[in-house]
Amino acid sequence: MSFRNLAFACAFVTGSSLCMAADTYDATTGTLTIPLVKVGNTLYKNARVTVASVVSVGSLVTTDSQDTYDTATNQLSIPVVNVGSNTYYNVVVKIGRVLSSGSSCSISSACSKVGTPEIKGVLPGDSRISVHFNYMGGKIVGLLTNTNYVSASKYVAVCTSSDGLHAASSTTSVEYKEGHANYTNPLVVSGLTNGKSYSCTVTATADDALSGTSSASSSVIPNPGSASSAGVLSASANTAHASAYPNYDSYCNYTNETATGLPAVATVSYYNTSGVRTTGTSRSTITCTASTRTVTSNALPDHLASQFFTNGLTGYTGSPYNSGQPNSIGEKSVSKSVPLSGTISTAYVKGSDGFDTSACYSYTSTREPSSSANYKWASGGAVWSSGTVRCQWVAYFSYFNNGVKVEPGTAETYTSSGITYKAVGKNLYQDVGLDPSNAHNQPTMSGTSMKMYGYYHVHGMPEGQISRLGRGNSTMTLVGFATDGFPIYARYGFTNRTNATSGVTVMKSNYRLRTAAELSAAGYSGRPSASIAPYGTFEQDWVYDATSSLSHGGHLDACNGRYGVTPESPTVEVYHYYITDSYPFVPRCVFGTPSSWANDASVN
C-alpha cells in the first residue's frame, strides 16, 4: 500500500472539514515532512524522509502530536498526516531515506515541553460530552524555575467509544472555532453516537515542544434525554417538560426540583449557611406578580457538581500557582426579581437579521466598563451622560431557573504597564477550575477571613442544567430569564429565526479578537506577551464586530441577543439572549432595563 492509494478522505473519517495535521506528504516527490519526531530520548525538528511503505492506517480521529520512530523496526508512527486535501490518522509507515533534519534536543533534559493536562470529570449530553480538565497555563509557566516548560497553545479532547468503532474530537465538533470557541477547559466533544460508552483524553500541544496527553477519563454514555440524579441520561428526548410549560407564563409558580417531566435533582455535598458540611439538594421556585418574576433558591446546582471540586493540577494547587478551584459549594439564600416582561431600549435598531449590529460598550485604557463606572452606554459607542440609555454593562446577568447565579466576569487579573487586564473564565493563561458545566465556586468572606466555600456560579454553557432538562439537540432550551426580564436560551436557536419548524443551529456571537493595531489604539500596547497570555485571555482582547470584513458573521447582537420566535413563543417574535460556546459565553450587557442587583456585589 502507498499514500497514493489511501482511500479515506478527511470528510469520511471525521465528518468535518476541520482537519488539522502537522505532518504533510507530497505524493509527487514521495517526501514526508515531519515537524517533530521522537527517536528514543531525542526529539528532532523539521525532518524530511521518504516513505518505503505504508504499514497501516487507522480510521478513528486522534490528536496531533509528535511522531515516534522505532529504530528496531524502522517504523514511524504518525498521529495525523495531510496528503493533499485528505487527512489520515494513526498511520504507521516504514522509512526509506532520511533526507534532512533540523535541530534536536534531549527529551529528559533540554527539550521544550508542555504540562500534561489532568481530566477531573466528564458530563454527557445529547451526542456530546463535556470534558473538564486542569492545565498548566502561562501563569504557572511564568513562575517555574524549570525553563523547559512552555505554555500550551492548544488543547484537544478526543472521546473514543469502548467498542473501538467511533471517535470524535473537540476540533471536529460543531462548537469549535479556532481561538474563539471550544478551545480550553471545559472542552465539548460532539458528534458522538448516543447510547455508546465513551472515555476521553485531552492533549496539550505547542510549536516545537513535546506534547502531553492526559490519562483516559471514566466512561459515560451520551443520550438525548434528561439526566437522572445519578447523571444517567434517558435514551429519549424529554417532551413532557416542554408540554407542561409551553409559554413564559408557565414559569410562574414553578418549582424546579419537582417540575413536571423532570427527574429528581442530584444530591450534592456543600457547606450550609451555618458553615457545616453536609449533603442535600437544590431548591428553586419562581413566582410572579403583575410586574415581576422572582427566583427564590438555595443556590445549589440541580445536577452533578460537587464531585468535580476541589480540583487543580497536581503539584500546583497552592501558592503562588493556585491552579484550579480550591473552593467547595456553599449554600446561599437567594431571592432575585426581574421584570415579568423585558422592555427593549428605544435606541435599539433591529436589523434585517433580527439584531442591532452596533457595539454596546467598548474597552479602552481610559474608559473601561465596571459595576461602579461606565456601565450605561448611549448610541454611537459613547458612555451615557444624559438622554436615552441604549444598553447597560452588567456584572451579574441572571439567576437561572434552577437558582444558580450567572456571572460573566471573573476575579482573576493581570497587571502590566500600570493597566489591570481582566481574565475571562475560559482562557489559556490561567486555569480557574471550571467544572464540566463551566461553573466554579467563589469563596465566602466572614469579616477579614476567607472561607473556602461559596456561591456555585456559571461562566459559560450550563451543561448540567441542559442535560437535566433533556430537550436534546433538535430544539431550543430555555434556562432562565435575564436581569432585564428577557428569556435566555442555551447554545441552539432556530435556523430561520422567524420559523419555529426550521430546525436549530448553534448560535455564534459576533465578537472577535482585536488586531494588534486595535489594541494599541485602545491604549493596550503594553499588553502581556501572547507567549504568556494568548490573545483571548482578557476582556480587553475582544471587540464586537458584526459588519466589517473581519467579522465572523455571527447571529447575535453585542449582548448576545436577537429577535425571533422560540418554543415558548412559536408565532410571535420576542427578544431573547443566548449562552454561547464562543466569547462572550455569558452576555456582559443587556438592552433592557436591568434590576438593581445587576451591578451590586453586596447582594450577589
Q: What is the pLDDT of residues 335-366, one digit of tens each?
A: 999 999 999 999 999 999 999 999 999 999 99
Average pLDDT over residues 245-267: 98
**Cα of 194 vs its chain's centroid, Å:** 21
Question: Looking at the predicted structure, is the pLDDT value of residue 408 above 50?
Answer: yes
**pLDDT at residue 344 in the model:** 98
pLDDT the model gives residue 567: 98
pLDDT at residue 3 is higher than 60: no
**Predicted pLDDT of residue 177:** 87
Residue 540 dihedral angles phi and psi, to the nearest 5°: -65, -15
What pLDDT, on a 0 to 100 scale, did the predictor assign at position 12?
29
pLDDT of residue 191: 97
Q: Is the pLDDT of residue 14 over 80?
A: no
CA-closest candidate to residue 25, choices 71, 75, 104, 93: 93
Element (H, E) at 490: strand 487-490
Pick from 507, 506, 519: nearest CA to 562: 507
Rounded Cα–Cα distance for residues 196 and 469 (Å): 21
Supply the pLDDT for residue 447: 80
What is residue 27's three-state secondary structure? coil
Whether a cis peptide bond, with omega within 30° of 0, leads into 68 is no
Q: Is the dihedral of CA 533, 537, 541, 546 positive or negative?
A: positive
pLDDT at residue 9 greater than cutoff 70: no
List of residues 6+ apart from 455 with CB closer than 8 A: 299, 330, 332, 405, 441, 442, 444, 604
Average pLDDT in the 140-162 region?
Answer: 96
6 pLDDT higher than 60: no
Res. 83 pLDDT band, cuts 50 70 90: very high
| Residue 587 pLDDT grade (very low, low, confident, very high; cuts 50, 70, 90) | very high
Distances (CA, A) of 156 to 139, 144, 193, 243: 20, 24, 19, 38
Judge whether 303 and 227 are in contact, CB under 8 Å.
Answer: yes
- Mean pLDDT across 187-207: 97
Picking from 94-98, 122-126, 444-448, which range would have the lowest pLDDT averaged per residue? Answer: 444-448
Report pLDDT for 582: 95
| Residue 22 in this model has a pLDDT that exceeds 80 | no
Answer yes or no: is pLDDT of 20 > 80.
no
**Residue 458 and residue 407 in contact, taking contact as beta carbons nearer than 8 Å:** yes
Q: What percent of the chain stands above pLDDT 90?
A: 93
Answer yes or no: are the C-beta atoms of 346 and 592 closer than 8 Å: no
Percent of the chain with pLDDT over 70: 97
Helices (H), 308-385: none
What does the pLDDT read at residue 445? 80
Burial pattern 21-48, b for ≥16 Cβ within 10 A else e, equals bbbebeeeebbbbbbbbbbeeebbbebb
Instruction: Check if the beta carbon of residue 138 is closer than 8 Å to that of residue 532.
Output: yes
Angle, CA 150 vertex, CA 148 and CA 151 arms, to 5°: 160
pLDDT for the residue 10: 33
pLDDT for the residue 178: 80
Asked if 131 and 435 touch (Cβ cutoff 8 Å), the reply is no
Domain positions in the chain are 3-106, 118-213, 240-603
Q: What is the pLDDT of residue 179?
A: 80
**455 near 332, Cβ under 8 Å?**
yes
pLDDT of residue 89: 94
Task: Give CATH for domain 118-213.
Answer: 2.60.40
Is residue 15 very low, low, confident or very high in pLDDT (cuts 50, 70, 90)? very low
The 10 Å Cβ neighbour count of residue 407 is 22
* Conformation bin of residue 74: beta by default, left when phi > 0, alpha when psi is -120 to 50: left
DSSP string for 456-471: EEESS--HHHHHHHT-
The pLDDT of residue 28: 92
DSSP bridge pairs for 310: none
pLDDT at 235 > cutoff 60 = yes
pLDDT value at position 13? 32
What is the mean pLDDT of the segment spanning 289-311? 97
Tell me, rounded to whole angstroms, the distance of Cα 166 from its chain centroid.
23
| pLDDT, mean over the chain | 94
Average pLDDT over residues 519-525: 97
